[in-house]
Amino acid sequence: MLAAVFHAPNNIIVKQVPITRRQVMLKVSACAVCGYDARVFRNGHRKVRPPVILGHELCGEIQNDIIVGGDGGGMTMNAGSRVAVCPLIPCLHCHYCKIGDYNLCINLKEIGSSSDGGFAQYVTIPEQVIRIGGLVPVPDNLTDEEAALLEPLACCLNSFSRMLPVAKESSIVIIGDGPMGLIHLQLFKRLSHSRVAIVGKIPLRMEKARAMDADAVFAYSRETVAEVLDFTGDSCGAGVVVIATSNPVAFELATKVSARNSKINAFAGMPSGQTFLLDANWMHYNQISITGTFSSTPKLLGEATRIAAEKTIDLSAIVSHKFSLAEIEKAIDVTEKYHGLRAVINKF
């Protein structure tokens, strides 16, 4: 089969590789390029041992009949079914696996990182993924490209659900105008009907945020703190701040625009070793909650599929470019240059 194999930083080769035939294979229909893929391509990553095929936001067609969710609630999926994939490969033995927090597994492996992923014509699905119900059927009213974005939507749902309940009067501030920031924007506008401001940097993306009904869009500058506080009015700050950018300045900004009793979520990963200083009394007297969220679970992927199929969340607005597998480097290039939102590989 044809695959884009990551060999070393700045070295990805599209070539024929043998297919490892195991129990469950998917014919890939679409695989989106995440910022993570672009960073691995440039700098490598501690989780990635090349040669490996990257790509963890994918949708594909099952090649053989299978039973999914083996632990009791098994259901049959027929060959030809289109599915979204939860890329987690958990150990199934640790404390976190036992309570269903597979994203927190202490021995976690992931499709598209430590195991071959979706930038190829076919992908083998490890048994653990089947066992945890990690293949989710995709309804016909979602395109392949939208289905590839169900995984990032599930990650944003993980973040959104940890911020609940959102008080009616509170304002939401999302720092970051990338695909993840804009999916958060849609979640807070459409599920909790909140007033939402986006703090961004890229004019084209800020324009998209306005088109997705952001109540305010601010370009990051020295005035941002004052502008955001003004936006939040007499609540004197945001009730929820989501950090959806890996730019470390976002953390300080978050602490300056958050209201009393607010929640701050560190959704995005930061450069490794990044630390922050916090005033303990600021947290104490203002009752601030700071949390982090990472990845998602099969349950959240199912929930993401439901709200995308209902068109509560519009994933088509997040897809800005489509490329063939042979154009993988172009897709990575538009991703790291912020030329759009998500680039999706959809021709293999």
CB-count exposure of residue 124 (10 Å: 0-12, 13-18, 19+): middle
Residue 152: name the closest of 193, 190, 112, 180 by CA: 180
Whole-angstrom distance, CA of residue 58 vs CA of residue 243? 24
Instruction: Show contacts with Zn ion in window 80-109 (CB under 5 A).
Output: 90-91, 94, 97, 105
**Site for Zn ion contains 178 (CB under 5 A):** no
CA angle 226, 227, 229 (to 5 degrees): 65
Whole-angstrom distance, CA of residue 56 vs CA of residue 123? 10
**Site for Zn ion contains 149 (CB under 5 A):** no
**Site for Zn ion contains 34 (CB under 5 A):** yes
Q: How far is the CB of 87 from Zn ion (least distance, A)?
A: 8
Q: How far is the CB of 18 from Zn ion (least distance, A)?
A: 27
Instruction: Choose between 31 and 209: whose C-beta lies nearer to Zn ion.
Output: 31
Q: How far is the CB of 214 from Zn ion (least distance, A)?
A: 22
Q: How far is the CB of 1 from Zn ion (least distance, A)?
A: 23
Instruction: Choose between 48 and 94: whose C-beta lies nearer to Zn ion.
Output: 94
Tokens at residue 123, please?
A: 């992908």
Q: How far is the CB of 329 from Zn ion (least distance, A)?
A: 18
Determine contact, residues 4/119, Cβ cutoff 8 Å.
yes
Stretch that binds Zn ion, among 33-41, 116-124, 168-176, 261-269 (CB under 5 A): 33-41
Which helix or strand (DSSP H or E) is residue 31 part of?
A: strand 25-33
**Site for Zn ion contains 134 (CB under 5 A):** no
**Site for Zn ion contains 24 (CB under 5 A):** no
Count of residues of this chain found to bind Zn ion when the rule CB under 5 A is applied: 6
Number of other CB atoms surrounding residue 49 within 10 Å: 11
Q: Residue numbers of the site for Zn ion (CB under 5 A)?
A: 34, 90-91, 94, 97, 105
